[in-house]
Each structure stands twice: as structure tokens, then as C-alpha cells.
Structure 1
């Protein structure tokens, strides 16, 4: 019993230390000059088989799931017509300790090499750019920030899942950098609707906008 307790405590301490190390070594958020970034992008975050399940422990509400799939496909088609790039962002757990925890808690869903890391087949849109990330915040992926810089993007339309994790982390990071942020509500999936509502209220108070359905624009609004 003491051995199990000791190992558990050691694991908790290691997780805390690992998280602190990541925070300390994360690149600082640099505010952008929006006057030099007139363009927009549509983000589709983590809509992969391992994360978009309709049944099981990590399931999303089946009806909400279908609505989100439809809206994302339609939004992407509209974005292409307007010349707005569609950026597909995919998550994969690569840290050894994270992979161990995910195996225990989620049966290995999302671990690097999983066949379930492919985009859900219900999403048929074409992406202009694809990037992998290994943390909730999409801005921790250097290729993502580089694409936004290179294409003078200052306005992000955000869709995908999960609302209380990677969606919230990416939106907060974008607002911190002074991006215009529009959350496409019916194209965002949340396993915990109450928690997402509280987070959404904070994002809106910080300057994010909320939209439903279609209606993209070619630049910040």
C-alpha cells in the first residue's frame, strides 16, 4: 500500500514539474500589429476519430456532433469561396508520461501513431494547411504561428473540439496576442456544456465574438 501511494505521489510531482517546465520554456506571447494583418483564417481543431466519438467514455452528444460536422464542412466551403484559408490542426500526444496517462485514462486515444489520429471521415472539406500540435494551445506549434505571420492573418474563426480544452486554450492564446477571435458556436463540440459556457463567457468578456452558422467575412469585423 505504501509503495502504491509513494508511486502515485511521485507521479503527481513529476507531472507538476513537467508542466511547470513546459510553461517556463514556452515562447512568450508577442502581441501582433493587427493593422498589418488584414486577413482571416478558419481553424478546425482536433476533429480526429480518437476525439470525435459518438459513443463510449469520451463520446460527444450524437446530435451536436452531426451539427458540428455539417457546419464545419459548410464553413470551409464558404471560406474557400471568400479566399479565406482553412487551417486544419491535429493533436497527438508525444510526451512519454502523457502517453502513459492517456493509455490509462483514455485507452490510448490520441497517442502518436494511433490510426484514430486521422480526420473524422464525416469531414469532407479541403484544408489549405495542416499542422500538428502536442499541447492544447495551437500557438505552441511553431509552424502554425509561422503560417499566420506569413499570410498576414489577424482574425481567427475557431471551430472544432474539445471546447473546454484545446478550443479554450487556443482562443485565450489568440486573444493574448491581440488577434480578433470569432467562436463559431454550433461548429464547436463540448463534452461538458456547463463548463464550456463559463469559459465562453470569460472569452467573450476578453474580446472574443460569438457567431452561429455561416457568415464569414474576408477580414476582421
Structure 2
């Protein structure tokens, strides 16, 4: 009888542990979906004199520390060149920073990266900063940040050129957030980061199926020169 009770108690303990693990995994999964999903919102108005903006996503110290990116110097050079072209054309230039603020679950999911007020969360020191338009965001999609979206609306921006990191995460989800609201979204393919070259090629194909346009640094410069 005692042995049966011990076995029953052991089974109950194992079931309880499994239940707790499943619950924890479920909570983490739901939080991850929330953080990484593209947002939806109201369609933008049809402006009389619409503007374009260059959006630089998450070029931070922690980003440049991701070893899978390999040699990041050419990409940083391309991004800074895009910023220079945008600045010369008097285009709006906007920066975002991924920052997690005290939620231990977010710290677990991010592996301790991008913690608010940390050196890792700061914009990369070799990144050209040409405006004070810097928005901190919790979620992958920059449109989840209310102040960011309000800025675009206030300045009658309807076209976004996107550079930065990462091709399969923040770049993709922010681009989708823009498409969902009626923005024209154009990604500079030679100015975005990806952990794998093959993945980058796959994402570029995927972008176009979602209505996201693709261009290059050279074409971006020519476009701004014509607008001037």
C-alpha cells in the first residue's frame, strides 16, 4: 500500500512539474508572439504634399555584437551613405532603438540584450546621427510605438525607406506595419542586416509578395537627386 502511494505521489509530482513547464512555455510563447508580431492601425490620410523618410532600425551596440552578422563594416558604411544622401535631400531621418524595460521575461527572451539605459542599447557609435528623431520601442514593429506613428502623421510622411536590422525581424515587421497602414515601404537591400545570406535572399523575395518594394543605395541616391 505504501509503495502504491509513493508511486501515485511520484506520478502526481511529475504531472505537476510537466504542467508548470507547459504553462511557462506557453507564457513565453505568447509574450514572444506579442513582441514580434506586426501591428495594424488606421490607414493614413492622402496628403497634399506628402514626404518621405529614411528609417534606420536598431543599429545599436548590441546589434553590432551579434557574431552571425560577420563583418559589419560594409553594411554600416552603406547605412551611413544612405543617411548622407537623405540629409543632403532634406529628407526626414528617423532612428529606432530596441529597449526592454525591466520585465524579466523580456530579458530572458532577449538573452539580456537591449536593456534600457545600458551601453548595449545605445545607438552604435559609428552610426551617423543627423537628427534628434530617435524612438525607443519595445516590440519588433516600430509602429507599435505611438510616438513614432504620431511623428509620421504630423510630418505628412507616406513613404518609408528602411535600412538596419534585422531582415527577418524588425525590418520585415516594421515594413508590414507600414503596409498595413497604407504607407509605401521601400527597403534598401544592400543596407539591411541578416544572420545568413540565404535568409536575406529569401526575405527579399518575401518582401515583394507583401507589397514591400526593394531598391539599392545607388537607386536611392538617384531618386533623391531627381527630387531635389
When normalised by structure 1's length, the TM-score is: 0.83
Q: Which has the larger radius of gyration?
A: 2
> Per-residue deviation at 1:7?
3.7
Residue number in structure 1 paired with 2:44: 32
Residue in structure 2 matched with residue 190 of structure 1 by the alignment: 194
Unaligned 5+ runs, structure 2:
1-12
Superposed CA deviations along residues 73-126 of structure 1, whole A, max 9, x for unmatched, are: 111111111110110000012333111333xxx3x1112232111111221332
Alignment of 1:61 with 2:65, yes or no, is no
Alignment of 1:1-221 (within 5 A): 2=14, 5-18=18-31, 28-36=40-48, 38-53=50-65, 55=67, 59-62=68-71, 65-94=72-101, 95-102=103-110, 106=111, 108-214=112-218, 215-216=220-221, 217=223
Q: Return closer, same or farther for 1:38/1:53 CA change in 2, 3 Å cut-off.
A: same
Q: Secondary structure at the match of 1:89?
A: strand
Distance in 2 (alpha carbons) for counterparts of 1:90 and 1:118: 7
Distance of 1:164 and 1:28 partners within structure 2: 18
CA distance in 1, matches of 2:213, 2:132: 24
Residue 169 to residue 187, structure 1, CA distance change in 2 (3 Å):
same
Cα distance between partner residues in 1 of 2:121 and 2:35: 23
Superposition deviation, residue 21 in structure 1: 7.0
Query: Cα deviation per residue 1:155-176 (whole Å; 9 max; x = unaligned)?
Result: 0000000111111100111111
What's the counterpart of residue 8 of structure 2? none
Cα distance in 1 between the residues matched to 2:66 and 2:36 = 33
**Cα distance, 1:196 vs structure 2:** 3.3
The SS at the match of 1:170 is: helix
> How many residues in Structure 1 have an aligned counterpart in Structure 2?
210
Distance 1:37 1:8 in 2: 55
| RMSD after superposition | 2.7
Q: Which moved more, 1:3-12 or 1:141-150?
A: 3-12
> Which region of structure 1 is more displaced relative to structure 2, 80-89 or 4-13?
4-13
| Runs of 4+ deviating beyond 6 Å | 20-24
Go from structure 1 to structure 2 and tell me whether the alpha carbon gap of 1:34 and 1:119 turns closer, same or farther (over 3 Å shift).
Answer: same
The answer to which of 6-15 and 135-144 deviates more is: 6-15
SS class of match (1:122): coil
Could you tell me the TM-score, scaled by structure 2's length?
0.81
Q: Contact between 1:34 and 1:179, CA under 8 Å: does it hold in 2? A: no
